Structure 1
Amino acid sequence: MSELTRRRALIAGAGTLAALGAAAAAQAIAAPADHAGTADHSGHGTTPPGAGTAPAPFDEVYKGRRIQGAADPHAGHGGHGAGHGVGYTVRVDGEELHVMRNADGTWISVVNHYETFANPRSLARAAVTELQGATLVPIQTS
């Protein structure tokens, strides 16, 4: 009668992990070549779909506040721009709302930093709702 020893348990666990790794590799090889993202050659991995282009511009009045959004080649962090090369500026009543595009293609703002949005228009609307009539104060950079 054989007893389960530490050595046999480790060997069995290693065998299971090897089998799982082989199955994952086989699945990756068999996966179609149509990836959700495309290589961006910047050293940051893959770019989410549509990240290389700016979202559509908008200019509307929402809850009595004018919100605007448009591509801006000078917007972004350190010249990087949101979406790596395509910056985007959002304004509420003419004041710039600091926005940033996440790696997964969603958007956040300084007003709603922990809530993500699918596009800058929905982000601007949520910021207006969150501001509750308060004036947007620009971020001071030095």
Structure 2
Amino acid sequence: MSSITRRQALGVAAGAAGAVAGLALAGSAGAATPPADAPAALPEPAAFDEVYQGRRIIGGPAHGGHHGGHHGGGYSVTIDGEELHVMRNADGTWISVINHYEPVATPKAVARAAVRELQGAPLVPLALG
């Protein structure tokens, strides 16, 4: 008479659990959801040009330039003519080299936050190289 070992029993149980999980996932695959690795299209932020606390801040779609909008998703921001490096996060928020740990909703808000943080100091170009 053949007896099943503990290792064999655990293997069968694990295989059955995997099959059940696979069926559950296959059943939910018919739902109208985008694949997990497909990025959601985020709306293009509005361009701006204003004086904020005595500093001229400008933002809009990047046109070539030093980075060509590398991290800003094709968006460029300047303070008094100096480029403020900005980056759009996956959740749609924005950060800059000045306020890297304080995400905000728009590039205009990130420029204003940088002006407040600079407290009148000039924006020094970021040295790359």
Task: Provide TM-score, normalisation by structure 2.
Answer: 0.71
Classify 1:10/1:112 alpha carbon distance in 2 versus 1 (closer, same or farther; 3 Å): farther
In structure 1, the residue matched to 2:15 is 14
In structure 2, the residue matched to 1:23 is 24
Classify 1:82/1:5 alpha carbon distance in 2 versus 1 (closer, same or farther; 3 Å): same
In structure 2, the residue matched to 1:40 is none
Cα drift, residue 57 of structure 1:
0.4
Cα drift, residue 109 of structure 1:
1.3
Partner Cα distance (2:78, 2:22) in 1: 49
Question: For 1:36-85, what per-residue CA distance to the aligned partner results, in whole angstroms no more than 9, with x for missing partners?
Answer: 99xxxxxxx6343236xx421012233333221111221574775743xx
Question: For 1:8-36, what per-residue CA distance to the aligned partner results, in whole angstroms no more than 9, with x for missing partners?
Answer: 2343233223322321232122x226x49
Question: For 1:91-141, what per-residue CA distance to the aligned partner results, in whole angstroms no more than 9, with x for missing partners?
Answer: 112211011233443322111223333321121122223223322111133
Whether contact under 8 Å (2:62, 2:69) holds in the other structure is no
- Aligned partner of 2:92 among 105, 113, 118: 105
Residue 29 of structure 2 aligns to a residue in which SS?
helix
Classify 1:12/1:78 alpha carbon distance in 2 versus 1 (closer, same or farther; 3 Å): farther
Indicate whether 1:48 and 2:35 are aligned.
Answer: no
In structure 1, the residue matched to 2:47 is 57
Indicate whether 1:73 and 2:63 are aligned.
Answer: yes
Partner Cα distance (2:35, 2:50) in 1: 31
Task: Provide TM-score, normalisation by structure 1.
Answer: 0.66
Partner Cα distance (1:11, 1:49) in 2: 44
Quote the RMSD (CA, aligned, Å).
Answer: 3.3
Residue 51 of structure 2 aligns to a residue in which SS?
strand
Tell me the amino acid that sits aligned with residue 11 of structure 1.
V
The gaps in structure 1 that reach 5 residues or longer are 38-44
Identity %: 52
In structure 1, the residue matched to 2:32 is 32
